[in-house]
């Protein structure tokens, strides 16, 4: 009797980033896996979680690009958020149960502007119970679902910009740019409390992550319809342009690949490294006129180098 042979799928070795407009109703990981399946990538990761109810920019990293994901996760984010006045929920958003109601009194543009200014800059924020933070080894949201509430220390976050873009009868739309770790729903609850009412967040759409704009992001349907999806994969160094560039000689490239240190007269800091043919090699740090490797992306580098040699 012939034995059944198990065959693993052979996926191409892709390296780069796809900008997804995440749909509402699925988790960030579910969205990532859909994109990974479309591109048939071996290795994939995303750069900053969006709740299932949230939409917008979710950079999906393939291959070596997963090694720069932490730089994007730690970057500032920009959102469009809808603040619905008069009702507070246990989750802080539209998915939760109503826990408080208040007669809706329209806020003037001047009142809104004054309140947002009080929440602009470095502020202290108490994380919500419905969050993925840990408390004694348990996720806060799991405790919240059991009806438990624990004390959460306030954390310092930075609200770079808090601008009203629409003031309707019972809701206000904001464009908000914040540092890593800021909870927009908590910010909106605190804003409403400052204005003498209650509120919850009914929609959240991310438009920017660090230097990456959502201007050219695509939906799952749009990605599905692409004839040549590989052309939509951004090179990983495109999201690292905030770091200065160093063009290496052939010998310097070889030295760095083999773990050596090379001399460099530049300022101290993190740099993008390119070989003598302008191919992206990785990231390096300059300190005391010495250039050291921070992170090499050899798989993607060799793929580009071999492709160049063939063409």
55 and 164 share a domain? Answer: no
Exactly one of 51, 64, 90, 93 is catalytic; which is it? 51
Report yes or no on 7 lying in a domain. no
Q: CATH number of the domain that 230 lies in?
A: 3.30.2350.10
Give the pLDDT confidence of 173-191 residue by residue, as tens digits: 999 999 999 999 999 999 9
Which pLDDT belongs to residue 10? 55
Q: In the chain, how many domains are there?
A: 3
Whether 73 shows a pLDDT value over 90: the answer reads no
Give the pLDDT confidence of 193-217 residue by residue, as tens digits: 999 999 999 999 999 998 899 999 9
Which pLDDT belongs to residue 106? 85
Tokens of residue 199, six digits = 């509120």
Q: Which bin fits 33, alpha (ψ -120 to 50), beta or left (φ > 0)?
A: alpha
Q: What whole-number distance in Å separates Cα of residue 13 and Cα of residue 299? A: 9
List the domain range (segments joined by +) for residue 276: 243-310
95 and 55 share a domain? Answer: no
Average pLDDT, the chain: 89
Q: What whole-number distance in Å separates Cα of residue 82 and Cα of residue 164? A: 10
Q: Which of 1-5, 12-16, 96-100, 229-233 has the lowest mean pLDDT?
A: 1-5
Clarify whether 51 is annotated catalytic.
yes
81 and 149 share a domain? Answer: yes
Whether 247 shows a pLDDT value over 50: the answer reads yes
248 and 301 share a domain? Answer: yes
DSSP 14: -
Q: Which of 25-34, 68-77, 173-182, 232-241 has the lowest mean pLDDT?
A: 68-77
95 and 47 share a domain? Answer: no
């Amino acid at each position: 009797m012939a034995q059944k042979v198990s065959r693993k799928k052979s996926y191409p070795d892709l390296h780069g980033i796809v900008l997804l407009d995440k749909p509402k109703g699925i988790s960030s990981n579910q969205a990532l896996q859909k994109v990974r399946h479309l591109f048939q990538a071996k290795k994939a990761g995303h750069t900053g979680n969006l709740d299932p109810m949230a939409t917008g920019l979710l950079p999906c990293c393939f291959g070596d690009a997963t090694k720069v994901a932490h730089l994007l996760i730690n970057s500032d984010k920009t959102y469009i958020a809808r603040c619905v006045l008069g009702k507070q929920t246990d989750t802080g958003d539209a998915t939760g149960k109503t826990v408080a109601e208040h007669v809706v009194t329209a806020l003037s543009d001047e009142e809104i502007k004054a309140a947002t200014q009080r929440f602009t800059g470095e502020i202290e924020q108490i994380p919500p119970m419905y969050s993925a933070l840990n408390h004694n080894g348990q996720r806060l949201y799991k405790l919240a679902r059991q009806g438990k509430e624990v004390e959460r220390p306030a954390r310092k976050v930075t609200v770079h910009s808090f601008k009203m873009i629409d003031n309707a009868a019972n809701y206000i739309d904001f464009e908000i740019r914040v540092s890593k770790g800021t909870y927009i729903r908590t910010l909106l609850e605190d804003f409403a409390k400052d204005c003498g009412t209650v509120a919850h967040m009914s929609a959240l759409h991310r438009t920017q992550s660090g230097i990456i704009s959502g201007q050219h992001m695509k939906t799952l349907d749009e990605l599905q319809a692409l004839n040549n999806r590989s052309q939509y994969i951004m090179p990983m160094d495109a999201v690292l342009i905030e770091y200065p560039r160093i063009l290496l000689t052939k010998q310097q490239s070889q030295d760095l690949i083999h773990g050596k240190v090379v001399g460099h007269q530049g300022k101290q800091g993190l740099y993008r490294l390119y070989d003598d043919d302008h191919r992206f090699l990785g990231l390096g740090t300059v300190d005391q006129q010495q250039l050291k490797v921070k992170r090499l992306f050899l798989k993607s580098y060799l793929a580009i180098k071999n492709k160049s040699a063939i063409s």
